[in-house]
Homo-oligomer: A and B are copies of this chain.
Amino acid sequence: MNKNLIIKSLFSCLIFSFLFMELSFAHSHPSLLLTKQGVNEIKSSMGKISDFDNSVNELKIIADKALKSEIVVPIPVNEGGGYTHEKHKNNYYEMNAAGTMYQITGKKEYAEFVRKMLLKYSELYTTLGLHPSKRSDTPGKIFWQLLNDCVWLFHTALAYDCVYDYLNTTDKAYIEKNLFRPMAEFISNGSQANYAVFNKMHNHATWATASVGMIGYVMGDKNLVEQALYGSNKDKKSGFIHQLDVLFSPDGYYTEGPYYQRYAIWPFMVFAQVIQNNQPELNIFSYRDSILLKATNTLIQCAYNGEFFYLNDALKKNYKTQEIVYAVDIAYKNNPENTFLLDIAQQQKSFIVSDAGIATAKSLHNIKYEPFEFHSVFLRDGANGDAGGLGIIRAGKKDKTQMCLTFKATSHGLSHGHYDKLSISMYDGGNFVLPDYGAVRFLNIEPKSGGNYAKENHSWAAQTIAHNTVTVDETSNFKGNIKISSNHHSDIQYYDFKNNKIQIISGCETNAYKNVKMQRTVAVLENKTFSYPIVVDIYRNVSDSTHTYDLPFYYRGQMVSVNFQYQKFTAQLNPLGTKNGYQHLWVDAFGKNEKPVTHFTWVDGNRFYTISTTGNSNTEYLMTRTGADDPNFNLRNETAFMIRQPNVKNQTFVSIIEPHGFYDENKEITENFETSIKNVEILTDNEEYSAVKISTVTNNSFLLITRNKDFNNDSEHLLDINNQTVRFKGNYYFTELTK
């Protein structure tokens, strides 16, 4: 052993001892989210910052109400939204509130409440087997699924930390022996399935590791903490730290999509803060180029008017949820240079009652901040950023009427992913103009599938036809097989968001269907010819065999006009198909059009919208409505305008989506209910180039050429088109043609 090695070993020993000491003896309570310093700051700020006072008061109301009520810890029976489910949820919120109020006020009644409830839970927990519901593969003991037990422990660990010093040794020993240690053991290793969840790369694992790690820190249990951080085997191949490596892309995009990023950011940020307070030497917030701070910013970016994008399984969620309050406060506390987070905090008007919350509230009160900047961005997917990604284009007025378009060319997104390669969604004028259905779930409404995902979530919402993208031969991407889908991802061919006339993104998908290559290029144009930005959508499908291609555009609001004859089914409705989501679509109407450009206009909120799409006499136009094969009233009725091209090898759909005019029923104002698009022509469409000419009723016209192969920003191109020679450099060309 050479000298260097000896020194290294000694140093390692020292570090290890230091860590051990740190964990076992060195820290005081509370030390998870609240510290003594934070408590002092909160105390000295009371009455000075009204929004923070309100947040304290909200906790106080919960805690005071709890103190006056009987403590009830029922035997678990119900599923999501049911009595025992909601009661146990409420109990942890009450313990958390009371624990926090004990720290702030020093009033022993609060601590005593937590003590009594913990004793009751300790008593109950030893008697519990698995929850009686059979809905989950990994049932909990208190809740129908293990996940909720983790969330329970997560909140209760915070409460326990707050009252730790209040409890006597006997109580602590009793509670830890009967409740926390068995629960941590159950979560991390209660069964093969639980072990697998704990060591998985998935948001459930984040909750599992965070909750076990947090109770580990409070109890000074180094073993639990290390398992939480580095996986059951402590080999760093799983556990919380490895989740940071794997679940986020280098751009901070979470592979399950924004809905679950919102949910996962909660344990991620809270546990990170706990680690920071207890093992600051791990520098957790700097880890992987500050991935957690980046992920928080990216999540906020994935929203329109404060509502998160509907991608994969998703329900309606906005910035004001408590998880985003936690994330924003903790992110700001750990990087106060990001003052734009104060813009979000200002919208939330709510803070965590913790060190991070008071720091944010104080800054919001004292510091000038810039607004959070929403901009066009491409977010890479995949741990290494090489698994496709999500394009977000924003255009037009920077207010609540701004257009926002999402372009999804990601990997599958784990168990909550949908089969919707190259799908788009569009927001404009405050409306969800081309909506994504989201998930079929009535969260916490027990009579609706126990509050969990309904079976139509798989049979409808996840299927390709439920999205604004192409379905081939009435079959979903990868035949709806998640194992195969998870092996692949779409690719981005190119994008450019820096041109002030056009923002463009282009992706391709070659695995979703055998023998079909799909390329979609979506551009947003801003030009004085149009009242608002418009979307140009070039969707190219190439195959050497014959297929039927369906491209639906889902819309909300009322159909206004079309330029073709259609048959509306007035006396009988039938579904469009029998499987892969088609069984859920009633066919409202059917038509064809001899004209080369088909217009479909509807009104939604204060604007009109028109899709103008190219077609031929074989193209079929369908108006559909979800709701068929829905025995339990689980589906919303959502309408679509669907373009179907039957029995062709190749099919390029070119569609313009134009917001236009203004409508106000209350004030009786109507402007421009007709589209300004007169013509859309595909001038060229081959493996090298697709070229589209768009003409307006005001006789303006525009040419857009996109490269279809060999993408390179610097390569030079020369082609004859529209009786002209066009020369350009890069992947696309856009110009306004002279009149």
Contacts and interface: CB of A to CB of B under 8 A. Distances in A.
Interface of A: 80-81, 86, 315-318, 320-322, 442-448, 451, 558-561, 568, 570-575, 583, 586, 588-589, 601, 603, 623, 625, 627-633, 636-637, 663, 665-671, 673
A340 to B, nearest CB: 23
Most chain B C-beta atoms within 10 Å of own C-beta, residue among A589, A627, A628, A632: A627
Given A570-B629, A586-B573, A666-B317, A447 B81 contact: no
A630 B665 CA distance: 22
A444 B447 CA distance: 43
A445 B663 contact: yes
Contacts of A572: 572-574
Contacts of A666: 316-318, 320-321
A568 B633 CA distance: 8
Contacts of A671: 86
Assembly stoichiometry (copies)? 2
Contacts of A583: 571
Contacts of A623: 633
B573 A665 contact: no
A329 B630 CA distance: 52
Contacts of A559: 633
17 contacts: A86-B671, A316-B665, A318-B666, A443-B665, A444-B668, A445-B673, A448-B560, A448-B561, A558-B633, A559-B633, A568-B632, A571-B575, A573-B574, A588-B633, A623-B633, A625-B627, A637-B637
Contacts of A625: 627, 637
Contacts of A629: 570-571
A159 B673 CA distance: 29
A248 B601 CA distance: 41
Contacts of A81: 670, 673
B663 A628 contact: no
Q: Which of A574, A637, A665 has the most CB of B within 10 A?
A: A665
Given A80-B670, A86-B670, A558-B633, 12 more contacts: A316-B665, A322-B667, A442-B558, A444-B669, A444-B670, A447-B601, A448-B558, A451-B670, A559-B633, A570-B631, A573-B574, A588-B627
Nearest to A442: B558
A586 B572 CA distance: 8
A245 to B, nearest CB: 29
Nearest to A319: B666
Contacts of A447: 560-561, 601, 673
